Amino acid sequence: MAATLTRRLLLRGALGAAALPFGPAMGAPADASAAGSRIALVIGNGAYRTAPLKNPPGDAIAVAAALRGLGYEVTLRQNTRLPELIESLREFSIRAPKAGVRVVFYAGHGVQVKGRNYLVPIDADPQSEEDIQRQSADVGEFVDRLSAIGTGANIVVLDACRVNPFAGGVIVGPDGRRLKFRGATPGGLASLDAPVGTLVAFSTAPNGVALDSASSEHSVYARHLLANMSMPGLQIEQLFKRVRIGVAEDTGRVQVPWESSSLTADFCFKSNANGRCGS
């Protein structure tokens, strides 16, 4: 219990710096994607001791390259152990208040424990739910710290797990192939209500599964995300609708992406010819 409390306080302290310079929330601009600098943290974890994943490292490289091409200042981390995962979140949250747009993309294992979602580093070796809490990073705490900034937009994309990654399970896809999948506890990742100014995108719906394809360079979700990110003027709600349709079609509705959004301004990864979102 003491170790759990120490780790949670460390994460809270690390992320808390993001909110310190700000008072009450200010109004968001009409087009959040045009406001201030744009930063991104991209993490791809695949080299797990148990239930390794093929796609996340390559997915992270591709997403980082796409974001750099769109003018984002990107921090790329691959196969993070717990200290590096916590430090990456800490560094990002310190820089976050100075940015108008803050994007986080995570690919790898993610789990749910008692209604809270956790990002799992590659060195995690949990034997119980309490071990997961000690050995992982709490997504909800991180999102709350970003939302406390009160200005700009937060986009958090989780191409993460839905069934227990430590059980070595498989799922039979629509074409009959047996596929490794990214998982959480049996109930799946918990739904997460996005705070004001934030969109949280999940690669599959609560209680669903997110496939890790051994035969493809990228996960099905990352592939559709990459195909749509650079479309000029494409509003983010429409972007993720296209991703959802593409993933659902490719997987025979085995995997159907889901989002929670409380954005208060228009947002697109790439503005149109007029420097705005929309047609």
Residue 36 lies in a domain: yes
Residue 187 lies in a domain: yes
CA separation for the pair 154, 150 (Å, rounded): 10
Report pLDDT digits (tens) over 150-169. Answer: 999 999 999 986 445 555 45
pLDDT given for residue 81 in this prediction: 97
CA separation for the pair 48, 168 (Å, rounded): 12
Residue 197 lies in a domain: yes
Task: Name the phi and psi angles at 107, rounded to 5.
Answer: -125, 130
Task: Name the phi and psi angles at 137, rounded to 5.
Answer: -110, 130
Q: Report helix, strand or coil for 10.
A: helix
Residue 274 lies in a domain: no
pLDDT given for residue 275 in this prediction: 86
Residue 279 lies in a domain: no
For the chain, residues with pLDDT lower than 50 are 1-10, 12-28, 162-163, 168, 171-179, 181, 183-187
Report pLDDT digits (tens) over 39-97. Answer: 999 999 999 887 788 999 999 999 999 999 999 999 999 999 999 999 999 999 999 99
CB-based contacts of 186-192 (< 8 A; 24+ apart in sequence): 187/112, 188/112, 188/162, 188/163, 189/110, 189/111, 189/112, 189/117, 189/158, 189/160, 189/161, 189/162, 190/112, 190/115, 190/116, 190/117, 191/260, 192/117, 192/139, 192/140, 192/143, 192/260
CA separation for the pair 122, 77 (Å, rounded): 12
**How many domains does the structure of the chain reveal?**
1
pLDDT given for residue 29 in this prediction: 53
CA separation for the pair 63, 75 (Å, rounded): 11
The token pair that represents 219 in the structure block: 């996960």
Domain region containing 236: 2-20+32-261
The answer to whether 244 touches 256, Cβ cutoff 8 Å, is: yes
pLDDT given for residue 186 in this prediction: 45
Residue 161 lies in a domain: yes
Q: Report helix, strand or coil for 275.
A: coil
pLDDT given for residue 122 in this prediction: 94
pLDDT given for residue 174 in this prediction: 44
Q: At 117, which helix (H) or strand (E)? A: strand 116-119
Residue 25 lies in a domain: no
Residue 111 lies in a domain: yes
Q: What angle do CA 206, 15, 5 make, to 5 degrees?
A: 80
Question: Which residues have CB under 8 Å from 49's CB, separation 6+?
Answer: 122, 123, 124, 125
What CATH number does residue 179 fall under?
3.40.50.1460
